[in-house]
Amino acid sequence: MNKHNLVVGALFAAGLTTLLAQPSLAAVTAEEAKQLGTTLTEFGAIKTGNADGTIPAYTGGIEKVAGYDPKTSLRYVDPFKDDKLLYSVNAKNMAQYDALLTPGTKELMKRMPDFRIDVYPSRRSFRYASFAIQNTLKNATTVKMTGQVEGDAVEGADKNNQPYAGIPFPIPKNGYEVMWNNTFRFSAAVSHNVSGGWLVDTAGNISNLPGVDEWFLHPWYDKNGTMRDKTFDAVFGFDALLTSPPPSAGIVFLNYYLTNGQKVWFYTPGQRRVRLAPEFAYDVPIASYGGVIVWDEVFGFVGRMDRFNFKLVGKKEMIVPYNVFGITNTMQSKDFVGPKFVNPAGMRFEKHRVWVVDATRKPTARHAYSRRTFYIDEDCWCITASESYDNAGALWRTTYTHNFPTYNTGGANMDGWTTYDMIKGNYFLVNAGFADPNRSIHSYDTGEGLPINYTPQSVAAGSVR
């Protein structure tokens, strides 16, 4: 592998100590933490650009974009619409970029000669709020993993032995810590998405998935600090109302992911009651998505990590989806939902440094996947791509997240994704198409004054069917 494509260990190039083979439960030392804000950003990314200049230095991200008004705009304006295409990668020239491509990308190119990815200049657009930066610095030397199962919980120095509202492990020592950083990734406190989803079968037939009116919540980043008490202190959650088709309209999912587990409720109009749904976890197929993915792979990964061993492979330069404004905000679904794959013109790729985490199923655990690999961006700590493998070790599913910066609040939206099924030959994408009629996306830095159903009681009280 080209020496510029692999940062040995994890942050060897930034002067960090080599990652230990065995995971550590302790926070980093004060001496290690001195790298934050110097060779590293305060949130743990390499501050400088790469050797050949294809990845720039981090300069703080973006905040304001001409033509966007958070009060009136129905979707985000692409701040990089004038960027020129650098190059495209397809089956004919993929060998030239082999070290930069994920296995899932390479497999798609091998199977579909007309599949390609369009690569644009790398933009480190992600911006943190100042309080999240300060809290991350506090977390660096105080947060540690706890729980009876490795990686199953975290604790810190804030109230109730919780971490501060920031990235818990800016200098991670193992795969579990990187995955916790993804769970705690800085995002808008609330994202209100009225979006669509589509399933495309092997013959190219397109089916609409249920329409959804969703409130995605990152309660720890509510600037007023009031949402955590309303959401069982969840790190991430969502209140999702299915709006179509008619048989599904009125179904509500209320999901919360905590520092030590999850709480999930499910409302069905036919029964007119809200029930706990602890079974909506792990490898249980999601019925509303036609069973094409399982519960713990939405948004890349959610839920407990107790069924896999998460190994930190290191940090690499790779070409991954980034600043994906096309299929999310600027293109209508009729222009990007293709018969075999998403229109490449709507799926922007860039070269970034990503943490690679390889998860292998524990010998005594049950799960449909035997192995999974995640690619987590160093700036946003968000999963940009992933792969899942079946029991025979064959690649089963490849997923790309549609991440883009919510520059008015800071953070990134990665609520949408595309998953290709290598066994069935179909694909689906969800939480996209905000440019379609009657679709929209808004982000907020607080939940105050918004009509969100925080509890199962409010879900039941708000039912119209």
The CATH number assigned to the domain holding 5 equals 2.50.20.10
Region 165-181 average pLDDT: 98
Q: Residues of the chain with pLDDT > 70: what percent?
A: 94
For residue 14, pLDDT over 80 is answered with: no
Number of domains in the chain: 1
Q: How far apart are CA 329 and CA 443, in angstroms?
A: 13
Q: Pick the closest to residue 232 from 196, 206, 262 (CA basis).
A: 262
Residue 366's domain spans which residues?
1-465
Mean pLDDT score of the chain: 93
- Check residue 438 and give its pLDDT: 95
For residue 12, pLDDT over 70 is answered with: no
SS3 for 267? strand
Number of H helices, E strands in the chain: 7, 22
For residue 44, pLDDT over 90 is answered with: yes
Q: Pick the closest to residue 187 from 455, 407, 13, 450 (CA basis).
A: 407
- Check residue 27 and give its pLDDT: 80
Q: What torsion do the CA atoms of 219, 385, 125, 151 make, to the nearest 10 degrees? A: 40
pLDDT band at 81 (very low <50, low <70, confident <90, very high): very high
Q: Going by C-beta distance under 8 Å and a sequence separation of 6 or more, which residues neighbour residue 235?
A: 183, 184, 218, 219, 220, 257, 258, 259
Question: H-helix or E-strand containing 178?
Answer: helix 175-183
Structure tokens at 47: 């501050």
- Check residue 26 and give its pLDDT: 67
Question: H-helix or E-strand containing 456?
Answer: helix 456-461
DSSP type of residue 326: I
